[in-house]
Chains A and B, each alone.
Chain A
Amino acid sequence: MTVQEKPLPVRTVPARTRSRGFAFTPTVVVYLALAVLLVVGSVLVALRGGVLLDQAGLLNIFTRATALGLVAIGQTIVILAGSLDLSVAYLVGLTSLVAAETMAGQAGMIVPGVLLALAVAAVVGLVNGLVITVLRANAFIATLGVALVLRGYLEHNYTGPAGEVPRTFQHLGYDRVGPVPVAALLMLGIAAMCWWLLTRSRPGYHLYAVGGDLEVARLSGVRTRRTIVTAHVLCSVAAGLAGIYLASRLGSGAPYVGTDAGFDLESIAAVVLGGTLLAGGRGGVVGTIGGVFILATLDTVFDDLAVDPFFKDVVRGVVLVTAVALYARRTVRRQS
């Protein structure tokens, strides 16, 4: 599962840094960057006579962050385990279709629809995990292959949106508490659960161990295969939740809702932006959420400034590389 170059030498943060009580961990840097971005963005938008963080702006940021956030949470889990999932974008489309078609506009079918969508997602995750662990295909290729299979299925069976979610289910996508959408709160709740799972539970420790060094973890008695499969199932279920959320927002299932948004690479970008090491073993969900909000805020600022959409891509690319360059620099300096 070495989808990456050799991990950077980052055995860090011994007692010295901790005793100071505060360290510039990547997570802290992400949130500082987010704060700076919010300030700079507000100033820029204000210069053009708008307000970034008004009701509509906040709503925009949270809405953008919800779907990407769910996918990125899952992606964090697999990346921490030293794996990677390129199939999430198509899976989001597939689950949105499964949910919407099962519901078919009937309020009574909401629960079966959601459950079936999650079950489909879990099966896809299981396949990903088994292909990687049992067939020993590289994660990059395995999930790319599964993505192609899903794409073939979608292209063969759908030409456009299908299915319909009942009116009541759309509350999930549109209700809000003050300026904050309910779905965003649910996403943050799921992030909190994952944070607990990763940092406070045995499976979480195993995940970090497997991502840090597969062989060492195996020799220490961790069931590495089971851990990797579990990580992939969780990742796919998270992508499934994103699909369900998008179905509720769009009112129907859309085959290309995930790929149009580029969720596969975008979610990896968010994870890495959040300070998680692409090679696995270091990082966490908290940073990822910061990364997601940075991307969402960038998009919202650009919308408010009416920037050319192509320019967004350029900036996004530069931000991504710059951020990771800063982390890399820091870890190296601390090492020497």
Chain B
Amino acid sequence: MSFRPRLAEGTAPVLVVLVVLLVGLAIAGPAYSSPEGYLALLKRAAPLMILAIGQYFVIVSGGFDLSVGALVTAGVVIAARLIDGEDSATAWVILLVLAFGLLVGLVNGLVTTVLLVPSFIVTLGMLLVLDGAVFLWTGGAPRGALSPGFREFGRGAVDVPLLGEVPWSVLILLAILAAAVLFMRGGTGRALVAVGDNEQAVRLSGGRVNRLRLLAFVLSGLLAAVAAILLGGFAGVSAQVGAGLEFRAITAVVLGGVLLGGGRGSVVAATAGALSLEALFTLLNLLGVAGALESAVQGVIIIGAVAYASLGVGLRHRFTRTTTKQPATASG
């Protein structure tokens, strides 16, 4: 991917964490001695990584998106109800789910930018509205079923020359990640980070702050819809499919060294944070940490990782200064 010699600020710690976890996986589980094992891990992690990319856009521009978990649930439940097992409906339902994500992001963004409500509150309200509305519509429990065509994206694989069987979700993830990296290297992406760092300065230098923040929310909504399609295929229909995903995505992004409040961090690191989180869950499973204790261990490790990242700021500065001597900035 983009493991370039110059790393964005904050990328190093999460890569260390990720490598440690991957090595741990290789030692703990025989399945992880071959590439297939890691491909399976990547496939499992893809929805969370995509959510983390969306969340990254919002967080780096200084906001929060708490609605993505509810949006994923809504996407899956809506798709199941509308498709109801009919394969012919797959195409337009996928488009509809994407449009729905776009719409939710648009509403989040507009309320945040036009009505000036803090995004934490807007997306919290959206979470409540989505949770309520979806189940109001379906009468309390998800109904219908997804078509095999719809589920193909979440669990199917395609033959790629040279690589063999690669899951669809991994390909989608890689495409989105590549697009995100390119986007963040372009002018709009940099302006987005600048908004999170100093909104006033961007405004005074002629940047369209509101439009940028709106864009971040729309992207987050859209990517949440993509994640919903993948998760629906992977895990099937349930009312719990998106529960807690918003916190997981935010944790992943912060684990990637992205500053809550905006202005710092790279999208690759955020994605690596999501992969680390998923690797962590897998590792805990392999080590036989009981399901109940899992969240406790997870909590301790998250605190540890974030503390490590923020306490290591001084060290990291020295590191990035020596590695990013080139004129280019390092937010990619």
Which single member of A136, A144, A325, A329 contacts B310 (CB below 8 Å)?
A136
CA distance A151 to B243 in the complex (A): 15
B307 touches A321 (CB 8 A): no
Q: Which A residues touch B299, using CB under 8 A?
A: 144-152
CA distance A268 to B126 in the complex (A): 15
Q: How far is the CB of A125 from chain B (nearest CB, A)?
A: 15
Q: How far is the CB of B106 from chain A (nearest CB, A)?
A: 15
Q: How far is the CB of A258 from chain B (nearest CB, A)?
A: 15
Kindly supply a per-residue 1/0 record for chain A positions 130-164, scoring 1 wherever the CB is within 8 Å of any chain B CB and 0 otherwise.
01000111101110111111111101100000000
Stretch at the interface among B79-87, B110-118, B157-165: B110-118
A142 touches B303 (CB 8 A): yes
CA distance A107 to B239 in the complex (A): 43
Which single member of A310, A320, A321, A332 contacts B132 (CB below 8 Å)?
A310
Q: Which A residues touch B116, using CB under 8 A?
A: 8, 325, 328-329, 332
CA distance A3 to B64 in the complex (A): 9
A6 touches B199 (CB 8 A): yes
Query: Do A148 and B140 contact each other (CB < 8 Å), given the known contacts A313-B128, A317-B127?
Result: no
Q: Which A residues touch B135, using CB under 8 A?
A: 310
Instruction: Knowing that A141-B303, A152-B292, A312-B132 touch, tell me 13 more A-B residue pairs with CB under 8 angstroms.
Output: A2-B261, A135-B311, A142-B306, A148-B296, A152-B295, A279-B118, A310-B133, A310-B135, A314-B128, A317-B132, A321-B111, A321-B117, A321-B125
CA distance A61 to B261 in the complex (A): 37
Closest chain A residue, CB of each to CB of B310: A136
Q: Kindly state the interface size class of chain A when it binds its partner.
A: 35 or more
A156 touches B133 (CB 8 A): no
CA distance A152 to B125 in the complex (A): 27
| Listed A/B pairs (21) with beta-carbon separation below 8 Å | A3-B261, A5-B62, A5-B118, A131-B307, A138-B254, A141-B260, A146-B299, A147-B299, A151-B295, A152-B294, A152-B296, A152-B298, A156-B292, A156-B293, A278-B121, A308-B136, A313-B128, A313-B132, A317-B126, A320-B125, A325-B117
Query: Do A141 and B254 contact each other (CB < 8 Å), given the known contacts A148-B302, A278-B120, A317-B125?
Result: yes
Q: Which residues of B contact A (CB under 8 A)?
A: 62-64, 111, 115-122, 124-129, 131-133, 135-136, 140, 199, 247, 250-251, 254, 260-262, 290-300, 302-303, 306-307, 310-311
